A and B are shown apart, each in its own frame.
Chain A
Amino acid sequence: METILTIRNVSKTYQGAGRSLNVLDNINFSVEAGETLAIVGPSGSGKTTLLGLSAGLDRSTTGTVELNSISLDGLNEDERASIRNRYVGFIFQNFQLLPTLTALENVMVPLELRGEKNIRARSKELMDKVGLSDRLHHYPAQLSGGEQQRVSLARAFSNNPRILFADEPTGNLDAETSEKVVKLLFDLNREAGTTLIIVTHNAELADRTQRIIRIKGGHIVADEKR
């Protein structure tokens, strides 16, 4: 199998208020293409930091991160942005939709940043898949939390990412809506063959993945493949 993500000897230290805080310490793991993986751990264990480093949103203090066989360490911000745009999709706990764009326009953004043409049809198709074909021209403020997260899902898949990072995707949703969103997430992921990495507190959600990495105090304490 092809390796899509390799984390090697990665540490992350934050400097502040005259002292340094070691958030991650010597992390090593790799993820195969198409794999689904959950990173779990208590608050402050470094889960979100690890997700940020893996997706190229931040730089590690030491160690290397390879995404789709490309080392992110020597790349500048623009080169990282380009990698994200080509290979990565994101889902956030608080949806992170652009408030000035309609739902459909939000889905189109990654493709538009890439400069692709004729993207409206594909974006509409994705909106249809997440069940929001009647909400195309609504602004985020006019949508419920569940609807906003579904738009976020459609956007995450719009650029056909090779790997999808989801940070607490159900954290802001009620149980019923969470269930719908999670089902949609896994269905779309299966259909697209995308690698899925989820950071979550939710044990049920983690149980739906093929592999769980448990993290505590900046260290991997367990890596369970099922």
Chain B
Amino acid sequence: MAWRDSRHNRSRLFLFISSIILGIAALVATLSFGNNLRDAIDDQAKALVGADLVIRGNKYVPPPIRKLLDSLPNRHSEECSFASMVYFTKSQGTRLVQVRALDGDYPFYGSLETTPISAGRSFRGGRQALVDKTLMLQYGAQVGDSIKIGECTFAIAGVLNKAPGRNEISTTVAPPVYIPFQYLAKTRLLEKGSRVEYQLYYQYDPGADMEKFAGTIRPRLEKSRLDEETVESRKKRMSRAFGDFTQFLTLISFIALLLGCIGVASAVHIYIREKIPAIAILRCLGVKARQAFLIYLIQVAGIGLIGSVIGSALGLAVQQVLPAVLKDLLPLEARMGISWWAVGQGITVGLIVSVLFALLPLLSIRSISPLYTLRLSVDNSRRAPDALKGVVYAAILFFIALFSFRQMHSWDKALVFTGSIFGAFVLLAAVGWLLMWVVRRLFPASWNYLWRQGFANLYRPNNQTLILIITIGLGTTFIGTLYFVRDMLIDRVTISAAGNQGNMVLFDIQTDQQSAVLDLLKQNQLPVLQQTPIVTMRMAEINGRTPEQAERERDSTGRAGVPPDRTGAPPDRRGSSPERDDASSNRPGPPPERAFESELRVTYRDSLAASEKIVAGKFGGGGNAHPGGSAGSSGASPNFGSAGNPVPISLEEEYARRLHVTIGDRIVFNVQGVLITTVVGSLRQVDWRRIQTNFRILFPSGVLESAPQFHVLVTRVPSPEVSARFQQAVVRNFSNISVIDLGLVLSVLDEILDKIGFVIRFMAAFSMLTGLVVLIASVLISKYQRIQEAVLLRTLGASRRQILVITALEYFFLGALAAATGILLSLAGSQALATFSFESSFSPHWGLVALLFVLVCGLTILIGLYNSRSVLNKPPLEILRSEV
């Protein structure tokens, strides 16, 4: 019966269900892509790491650890990497690169992909280098040309196309240049204070249990501040990172599917309205309400299944495109096979959501009276609300929450996601109802007929106002939010080229090079915008706790966080008296492990920078009266390391929060062997977006002046030509100094954001297309409903222009209201993201807002008018015969 009944309207019903096809396609594409990516990570993890075990640190691996690592039979390779300038002798170009001095046969798995192929191995035999392909292109270099790194010149042995575990983007800011390890010393770039990373690559016998081995040596490595990576840990890290990304894309797809489902609900609603006479006849003939309901449920489920299968097939085709779209972001080659798990999931989800959403209108079948056969308008107004509808709504929300939870693995996030979607639905539905109510009740009867008819269409029987407001509104919300967030991200990294903002930074200037660098700047007529000394140090104690004590405390409390506060105040509000002498009394919780791990770069000065603002305490800059220090003084200078009162330092407020310290707390720093006791005197807010050197820890002047230090200098170059000329001069004269051209970095960041934005837009396009399909389907449905009316108006003498105006007005108001609501929602969403996620301000680009509004309105009107075209050009009788 279900099959026979659908015969007449099957194509129309399929048109309705087609709105879920794109959503399912997007969902299957991302799910299948995620599965294939996981498989690729599993397959290629070894080649990505290039070794069984990698040890990393910013110092040579000490002999006892080496002995430990060599306790199993192995082959190993050593690498030392650091940022430096490279000079292309032929083109005289210079550029910041990542120099990787390599010893041994690394990679043991996979290869350095080079042109010629043999160069990946042969460069190690002489004074030769492998140069990243983008650099080769940028400077027009050829194999055989020479480059200069520090004091040493190398012949280019080959073009480096790909190195293990590196993607296009990771190599863009500082592209890699490989040189043989034995020539590292000849570059004379490794001096005290240089920021270098050492890596040891190990290949063990195939039977070795690397996880167990890594677990055994981990504590020793941690003590020596070394990191280790195995194939398994890389797998986990990559799976997590790409899992997050594919989950994000899956959620975008899910929104597309939900948009489609609204289309389904609307379509089935109209379908059932058309079927009322047939259902009433069936009821007269003795069909029970439940049987009538089942007939149409089977129809919808059948079409939903077909839609899901077609969507899945389309999704499998789309996923073939994703690797090409994402190729610059992926460090591995993902082969796209059919993931039957993703297909099964897509079909199941498609079937469930299409039935769930269709149930809302389908439930009304149970209340269709046989009386409809006698009279079309049967009064249902006194019927009690259907409790089952409430159950269906709850089931829909539960399903959305469940699906989101499966993607996000957090009920909090899943509920926020579901709540946001539900909130947006409710708000848009409310706007739709309000629009209909206002137009029905308050529209002036004295207005021109065309306006009245255009508005009347908004609340006419079988109108599409609600569905169109929701679909157009949600689509607009989604697209608007994506664009605003993208703009926000770009704003966060965009540095104004106007004014006197710096656009070039010189690093690693040694104290004895300072005056010569300043002279060079002067010769090139470049300003010194900022000159900052940097002292490297580590934390030795926080509030009397050494790293070992802190670790013991963390172990005893079982967590790295803050123990319960006796005052009940949150950690960042915890009271701490500046006068407190005994740091161990009323002690806050142990500092996190990472507080002691990293090497800190600290500056000193007697005033605040423009990017800083004191938010608590008092900044004690400019004092020589704080000769803080403690035992172990090397006696380097009168102020550095001498005993006395603790030095009042200033911490960036967020950093202080992470350390669990506040005003009055004491921190002892190990400044390259000298311990300096400090007290947190103030907390600062720092605008990290300002182009200047910003610091989490700020010392007053008069303490660190004689400590070993290097300097950073910020200048502004007026043009790329001057930038290139100046960089060449710096490289020629000071081989250890690195120059970062921020213009280049920004263009790279822009490119990265563009690529990520493209991926997001690519997936969001499914939502837009779904919205478009739902819009077209909705308008088509309404077209079937209103064709009689348009023909009647034509019969009564309405001109083409009058029909056009009526249609355009209706769709303009629908589009305008939906777009306005959608934009408002996206602005609110973006503001919330700016406040809670990005912790930045949000100022929308009003031009973009206006463009979005005009585009959405224009598109809505266009589709509306396009669907009305047959009424405009053909004789009324012909249309009645062919379309009704």
A-to-B contact residues, CB < 8 Å: 49, 52, 57-59, 77-78, 80-86, 88, 90, 96, 98-101, 105, 108-110, 112-114, 141-142, 155, 159
Contacts and interface: CB of A to CB of B under 8 A. Distances in A.
B465 to A, nearest CB: 12
Given A81-B799, A101-B453, 16 more contacts: A57-B877, A58-B876, A77-B800, A78-B799, A78-B800, A82-B797, A84-B796, A85-B796, A85-B797, A96-B795, A98-B453, A99-B461, A112-B448, A113-B449, A113-B797, A114-B797
A85 B876 CA distance: 14
15 contacts: A57-B876, A58-B875, A58-B876, A58-B878, A77-B800, A80-B875, A81-B797, A82-B797, A85-B796, A88-B797, A90-B795, A100-B460, A109-B796, A110-B797, A113-B798
B461 A100 contact: yes
B115 interface: no
Interface stretch (B56-64, B711-719, B786-794): B786-794
B802 to A, nearest CB: 6
A16 to B, nearest CB: 10
A90 B461 contact: no
Contacts of A57: 795, 875-877
B377 interface: yes
Question: B459, B794, B872 — which one has the most chain A CB atoms within 10 A of its CB?
Answer: B794
Given A57-B877, A77-B873, A98 B449 contact: no
A74 B875 CA distance: 13
B377 A141 contact: yes
Contact of A77 (B448, B794, B796): B794
Contact of B875 (A77, A101, A142): A77
A110 B796 contact: yes
B874 interface: yes
Given A52-B877, A58-B878, A81 B798 contact: yes
Shortest 8 CB-CB contacts between residues of A and residues of B: A85-B797, A112-B449, A58-B877, A100-B456, A100-B460, A84-B797, A52-B877, A57-B877
B151 to A, nearest CB: 86
B457 interface: yes
Contacts of A58: 875-878
Nearest to B802: A113
Contacts of B460: 99-100
Given A57-B877, A77-B875, A101-B456, A113 B461 contact: no
A113 B459 CA distance: 21
Contacts of A110: 796-797
A77 B452 CA distance: 24
Contacts of A85: 796-798
Contacts of B796: 84-85, 90, 109-110, 113, 155
Nearest to A158: B796
Contacts of A80: 875
Nearest to A139: B461
Nearest to B461: A99
A84 B793 contact: no
A132 B809 CA distance: 32
A194 B643 CA distance: 118
Contacts of A77: 794, 800, 872-875
Interface of B: 376-377, 448-449, 452-453, 456-457, 459-461, 788-789, 792-802, 872-878
Nearest to A96: B792
Name B's interface SS.
helix
A86 B798 CA distance: 11
Question: A78, A141, A155 — which one has the most chain B CB atoms within 10 A of its CB?
Answer: A78
A77 B870 CA distance: 12
A90 B793 CA distance: 11
Contacts of B788: 96
Contacts of A81: 794, 797-800
Contacts of B795: 57, 84, 90, 96
Contacts of B794: 77, 81
A108 B450 CA distance: 12
A121 B88 CA distance: 92
A212 B266 CA distance: 50
A58 B789 CA distance: 17
A85 B449 CA distance: 15
A81 B792 CA distance: 11
A208 to B, nearest CB: 25
A5 B800 CA distance: 25
Contacts of B797: 81-86, 88, 110, 113-114, 159
Contacts of A99: 460-461, 789
Contacts of B877: 49, 52, 57-58
A159 B377 CA distance: 31
Contacts of A113: 449, 793, 796-799, 802
A96 B787 CA distance: 12
Contacts of B456: 100-101
Contacts of A108: 449
A90 B797 CA distance: 11
A141 B375 CA distance: 10
A156 B459 CA distance: 26
A110 B876 CA distance: 16
A88 B798 CA distance: 13
Given A100-B457, A100-B461, A82 B799 contact: yes
Nearest to B872: A77
A100 B459 contact: yes
B439 to A, nearest CB: 11
Contacts of B801: 78
Contacts of B789: 98-99
Question: A77, A90, A141, A159 — which one has the most chain B CB atoms within 10 A of its CB?
Answer: A77
A170 to B, nearest CB: 19
Nearest to B449: A112
Nearest to B798: A113
Question: B376, B448, B792, B798 — which one has the most chain A CB atoms within 10 A of its CB?
Answer: B798
A6 to B, nearest CB: 19
A155 B453 CA distance: 16
A141 B877 CA distance: 25
B494 to A, nearest CB: 52
Question: B794, B796, B798 — which one has the most chain A CB atoms within 10 A of its CB?
Answer: B796
A156 B789 CA distance: 16
A41 to B, nearest CB: 18
Contacts of A114: 797
B271 to A, nearest CB: 19
Question: A83, A100, A101, A155 — which one has the most chain B CB atoms within 10 A of its CB?
Answer: A100
Nearest to B877: A58
B373 to A, nearest CB: 15
Nearest to B459: A100
Question: B456, B457, B460, B795 — which one has the most chain A CB atoms within 10 A of its CB?
Answer: B795
A109 B792 CA distance: 11
A96 B457 CA distance: 16
B55 to A, nearest CB: 77
A23 to B, nearest CB: 11
Contacts of A159: 797
Contacts of B449: 108-109, 112-113
Nearest to B456: A100
B341 to A, nearest CB: 48
Nearest to B455: A100
Contacts of A88: 797
